[in-house]
Chain A
Amino acid sequence: NIFRAAGDLSHLISILILLNTIQKSRSIAGISLKTQILYVLVFLTRYLDLTYRYVSIYNTLMKLFFISSSIYIVYLMIYKFKNTETEQIDTFPIEYLIGGSFILSLIFNYKFQFGEILWSFSLWLESVAILPQLFMLQRTGEARTLTTHYIFALGAYRTLYIPNWIFRWISEGRVDYLAIFTGIVQTIIYSDFFYIYYHRVLKGFKFELP
């Protein structure tokens, strides 16, 4: 359906914007390495099911793209364009996010099985993975426009999945409680950002926190 397609496209675009920003400016200033590491963890734990579960060629290719691009971005950030200045303000304690997501995945899952727990873990972790990045924005108080486009596209992906879930609930009777709940949590975390993005970036102002 259209929401799902738009969501996936937005997800794809967000990664391309980020890669393009890094490659062109040859800098990772203002981008949180911690958030990017969390995404590697999210994609690895959710998408490694492609080794034992086949959905479609589209699904497989997308999963491969997200796993490889996220690892590549972390590689660029650590080795190629290392930025100690940015690292110094990237101080969000992610071990709590990882630990909390792990505990929640043990409590909430569709089956107490390795693959299902990993899937649940990835959903919880994804819902909070942007926090180090937002935290960094808050500390610096401003961001490059491209960085804000990246965060917007990334947030739009999960937000667009919400109407997709409603659509699938009506048309197929399919309800994925875990994905829906964590998707809503994720969207709420982004809501503040969306608001500022709408009021400043889209009207041509610099991204500056009030």
Chain B
Amino acid sequence: EEQTIVHDEL
């Protein structure tokens, strides 16, 4: 399963 980055930065 490919890991995606959580976009929690600005």
Enumerate chain A interface residues (CB-CB to B < 8 A).
Answer: 4, 8, 11, 47, 49, 53, 55-56, 59, 62-63, 66, 110-111, 116, 119, 161, 164, 174, 176, 178-179
Contact = CB atoms under 8 A, between A and B. Distances in A.
B9 to A, nearest CB: 7
Contacts, number: 27
Nearest to A43: B10
Contact of A59 (B2, B4, B5, B10): B10
B10 A119 contact: no
B1 interface: no
Interface of B: 2, 4-5, 7-10
A161 B9 contact: yes
A53 B10 contact: no
Given A110-B4, A111-B4, A179 B10 contact: no
Contacts of B5: 110, 174, 176, 178
A174 B5 CA distance: 8
Contacts of A111: 2, 4
A8 B4 contact: no
Contacts of B4: 110-111, 116
Contact of B8 (A11, A47, A55, A110): A55
